[in-house]
Amino acid sequence: MPTLLIFIRFVDGLNERIGRTVSWIALAMVLVQFLVVGMRYVFGIGSVFLQESVIYMHGTLFMVGAAYTLVHNGHVRVDIFYREASPRRKAMVNLVGVFLFLLPITFLVWIVSEPYVAQSWAIREGSKETSGIQGLFLLKSMILVFAALMSLQGLALAARSVLTLLGRPAPEHGDGPVQDGI
């Protein structure tokens, strides 16, 4: 069981650090969008590079930040019985959810997108606009980062659920025990 605890703490910590880091992209997005609008309507100047940068930041923020959201139980739930359930029942729902939904979907995302990303890297794909960002292959790579981080966090959630079902204390993270998930 110490191995599970180490794994949970490592993955939670990793996604916590990554999530806190990429959260600053939201501020950058607002500032760049404000700049784009100001340049366009005040000075009559357009910038494809800046407009595309907002898209890149948005994609990165959501793809890389999804696992951070899972750490903090921020994803939408459809289980109306979950909120009032006992910790054991929540652990069972989380365990089933991880292996029935989360991991198969992230695996499918990886399998389908890996050739797409590899092809983009092979040609160092860039913007179709000459003044755009010539790093589309980097943005497409965020799909694989998403699948990897979500899979890791799903496994950490499953490990936490196993500990709960075995009656062992699960490690706390952030502002309380992170036993809720998917």
Q: Any residues with CB less than 8 A from the CB of 23 and at least 6 apart, and which?
A: 61, 65, 68
- The pLDDT value recorded for residue 175 is 39
Where does the chain show beta strands of DSSP type E? 172-173, 176-177
Q: Any residues with CB less than 8 A from the CB of 62 and at least 6 apart, and which?
A: none
Predicted model pTM: 0.89
- The pLDDT value recorded for residue 172 is 67
- The pLDDT value recorded for residue 127 is 96
Low-confidence ranges of the chain (pLDDT < 70): 1, 172-182
- The pLDDT value recorded for residue 179 is 43
Neighbours of 180 (CB within 10 A): 22
Are 22 and 61 in contact by the 8 Å Cβ rule? The answer is: yes
